[in-house]
């Protein structure tokens, strides 16, 4: 089943394998460990004042949220080589934009899931306002998106190249 390009997360095989391993760990051994912690805390008695029980339940909630997040991410993942160098913005590309027609005010960012934010380059999700505005645009195209303050920003796509990270 093919999904719209805005919901696909482009991943290298290495990144996919790493996330899959994390999901398997959280769904298996980590889930069993937290269940043991909860059971041990229950055996200590009154749950209302049992800090260990409440801490373990909170940890379980965070872990289950991460399991759901990873499951959704992996279900929408497109694994393989970087997108083709066609000049069309797609997930897995480094996009360079100029703000409001000022060719000197530029920003280069990786259009990808936040899971793969690196210190090398800023990362924007394809679902973010800027990411969704430039998605599927060609070099030279203009795009508009809404800023948090409600104003609209216009940008021009200057370049779109596959990420080589």
Please give, one letter per residue, the 3-state secondary structure of 23-65. Answer: HHHHHCHHHHHHHHHHHHHHHCCCCCCCHHHHHHHHHHHHHHH
- 158 in a structural domain: yes
- 87 in a structural domain: no
Higher pLDDT, 126 or 83: 126
pLDDT at 146 over 80: yes
List the structure tokens of 154: 């216009």
* pTM, rounded to two decimals: 0.56
Please say which residue of 35, 55, 79 terminates a domain: 79
Strand partners, 88: 138
Shared domain for 10 and 75, answered yes or no, is yes
pLDDT at 33 over 60: yes
Q: What is the pLDDT of residues 59-98, one digit of tens each?
A: 999 999 999 988 888 887 777 666 667 888 988 888 999 9
**Mean pLDDT over residues 102-124, rounded?**
78
């Amino acid at each position: 089943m093919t999904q719209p390009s805005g919901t696909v997360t482009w991943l290298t095989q290495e990144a996919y394998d790493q996330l899959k391993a994390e999901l398997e760990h959280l769904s298996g051994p980590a889930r069993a460990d937290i269940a043991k912690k909860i059971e041990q805390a229950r055996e200590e008695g009154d749950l209302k004042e049992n800090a260990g029980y409440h801490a373990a339940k909170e940890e379980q909630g965070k872990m289950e949220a991460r399991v759901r997040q990873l499951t959704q991410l992996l279900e929408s993942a497109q694994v393989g080589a970087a997108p083709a160098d066609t000049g069309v913005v797609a997930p897995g590309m480094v996009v360079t934009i100029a703000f409001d027609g000022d060719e000197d005010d530029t920003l280069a960012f990786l259009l990808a899931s936040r899971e793969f934010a690196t210190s090398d380059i800023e990362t924007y999700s394809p679902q973010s306002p800027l990411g969704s505005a430039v998605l599927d645009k060609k070099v030279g195209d203009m795009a508009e998106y809404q800023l948090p303050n409600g104003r609209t920003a216009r940008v021009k796509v200057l370049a779109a190249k596959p990420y080589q990270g």
